[in-house]
Amino acid sequence: MNHPLRELLYAIENHPGRVKRTSEVMPLAPDVPTMSPYRTRWLLNQLVKDLGADEAYLEIGTWQGATLISALWDNPLARGYACDNFSQFNQIPGTGLWEGVRPAFLKNMARYQETGRLGAFSFFDEDCFALAARAKVPVKAKDGRPFGWPIGVFFYDGDHSRIATARAFVDFQPFLAREVIVIVDDWNYPSVRAGAWAGIEGVNPLGVWFRVLPAVRFRDADGNGPKGGPIYGQDALDAEPNLVGSGGRDGGWRNGLGCFHLTLRKG
Ligand SMILES: C[S@@+](CC[C@H](N)C(=O)[O-])C[C@H]1O[C@@H](n2cnc3c(N)ncnc32)[C@H](O)[C@@H]1O
């Protein structure tokens, strides 16, 4: 099974220390508020590293940019597409301030771009399904299309309703590479699981390979979380007192990830 996702997940399952060692030497957007633990961001970074030369990364649901920055960090040849309409979670928790996530996202991306260590990306500030509909309209120039390159890695972390999750597969299917990795965040939400499987049924792929990277379990009242509240960077993640696991940092994949390797019907 010579496939980057399968090899990575095999390594994670069988050599979990690799995640920790890597996390200690590679700070990924440590100062950007995020809902994704370090591990998830590390996984995205590794998957983008393994993208084919003619493929791109797509992220729906960037929020303040931590996952997008992590995916593209030190991947200078990578191309990314990203979309958010800033319709959710637009209060910066913990600060008591009401500030737009959009300006925070733009500021974070500009700051990290200045380092010269980010791969290139196009950002679409719109509803992702409107984007998909718009991208289907043929235009002559390759550069005139939102998705000029087939998507080899798709991270879906947008609206977690069943219908939106299903549409993420179906609506974006025309832009995905024949062999595509799809990572769906918040796998422990029943709506996400139901939506993903409905979407896969809609896409009707030739092949489906699937694994779950499990959710963080919290030591709160019911003992099996998730418990709300974003994680503020690596330091805060380390300090998160409610994470069960080896000292917090390796406590899990927060709300869980559904990981797919799909072989799609093309042409
Ligand atoms: C869970 S947050 C993303 C978190 C981010 N990936 C991280 O881990 O830090 C979900 C994001 O999806 C965006 N979103 C929700 N519905 C959307 C839609 N229809 N089109 C584009 N973005 C959407 C929200 O505005 C929000 O910023």
DSSP secondary structure, the chain, as one string? ---HHHHHHHHHHH-THHHHHHHHH---STTSEESS-HHHHHHHHHHHHT--TT-EEEEE--TTSHHHHHHHBT-TT-EEEEE----S--S-TTT-----HHHHHHHHHHHHHTTT-BPEEEEE-S-HHHHHHHHHS--SSGGGSS--S-EEEEEE-S--SHHHHHHHHHHHGGGEEEEEEEEEE-TTSHHHHHHHHHHHHHH--SEEEEEEEPPP-B-STTSS------EEHHHHHHH-TTB-SSTTTTS--TT-EEEEEEE----
Residue 120 vs residue 231, higher pLDDT:
120
Name the band, by pLDDT with cuts 50, 70 and 90, for residue 252: low
Most confident residue range from 100-114, 137-151, 225-239: 100-114
Q: Pick from 72, 84, 101, 134 the residue to mutate for probing ligand 1's pocket: most ligand atoms within 8 Å of its CB.
A: 84
Residue 89: is its pLDDT beyond 90? no
Residue 101 CA: nearest ligand 1 atom is: 27
> 86 CA distance to ligand 1 centroid (A)?
7
pLDDT of residue 168: 98
Residue 140: half-sphere exposure toward Cβ, Cα within 13 Å = 0
On the question of pLDDT at 257 being above 60, the answer is: yes
* Ligand 1 binding pocket mutation candidate from 89, 106, 234 (most atoms within 8 A of CB): 89
Confidence of residue 184 (pLDDT cuts 50, 70, 90): very high
67 alpha carbon – ligand 1 mean position (Å) = 11
Out of 127, 159, 187, 191, give the residue to mutate to test ligand 1, the one with the largest number of ligand atoms within 8 Å of its CB: 159
More confident residue, 89 or 244: 89
Q: In the predicted model, is pLDDT for residue 248 greater than 80?
A: no
Residue 170's pLDDT band (cuts 50, 70, 90): very high
Going by alpha carbons, the residue nearest to atom 1 of ligand 1 is 157
pLDDT at residue 52 above 80? yes
Tokens 């700051």, residue? Answer: 111
Residue that wins the pLDDT comparison between 221 and 263: 263
pLDDT of residue 241: 33
d(CA 174, CA 177): 8
Q: Does residue 224 register a pLDDT over 60? A: no
| Percent of the chain residues past pLDDT 90, beyond the cut | 48
| Residue 166 in this model has a pLDDT that exceeds 90 | yes
The pTM of this model reads 0.86
Q: What are phi and psi of 37, to 5 degrees?
A: -70, 170
Compute the mean pLDDT over every residue in the chain, rounded to the nearest whole number: 79
> What is the predicted pLDDT for the residue at 95?
58
Distance CA 255, CA 257 (A): 7
Instruction: Give the number of the atom of ligand 1 that is nearest the alpha carbon of residue 86.
Output: 25
Amino acid 58: pLDDT: 98
Q: What is the CATH number of domain 4-14+30-82+97-263?
A: 3.40.50.150
Q: Residues 97-121: what's their mean pLDDT?
A: 89
Contact 28, 41 (CB under 8 A): yes
Task: Work out which ligand 1 atom sits closest to the CA atom of 87.
Answer: 25
For a mutational test of ligand 1's pocket, the pick from 85, 129, 162, i.e. the residue with the most ligand atoms closer than 8 A to its C-beta, is 85
Query: Which atom in ligand 1 lies closest to the alpha carbon of residue 36?
Result: 8
Q: Which atom of ligand 1 is nearest to the CA of 66?
A: 9
| Ligand 1 pocket, Cβ-based, cut-off 6 angstroms | 34-36, 60-63, 66-67, 83-89, 127-129, 157-159
Query: Average of pLDDT values for 131-160?
Result: 86
103 cis-preceded (ω within 30 degrees of 0): no
**Closest ligand 1 atom, CA of 230?**
9
Q: Which band of pLDDT confidence, cut at 50, 70 and 90, is reported for residue 3?
A: low
CA-nearest residue for atom 16, ligand 1, is 159
CB 253 within 8 A of CB 216: yes
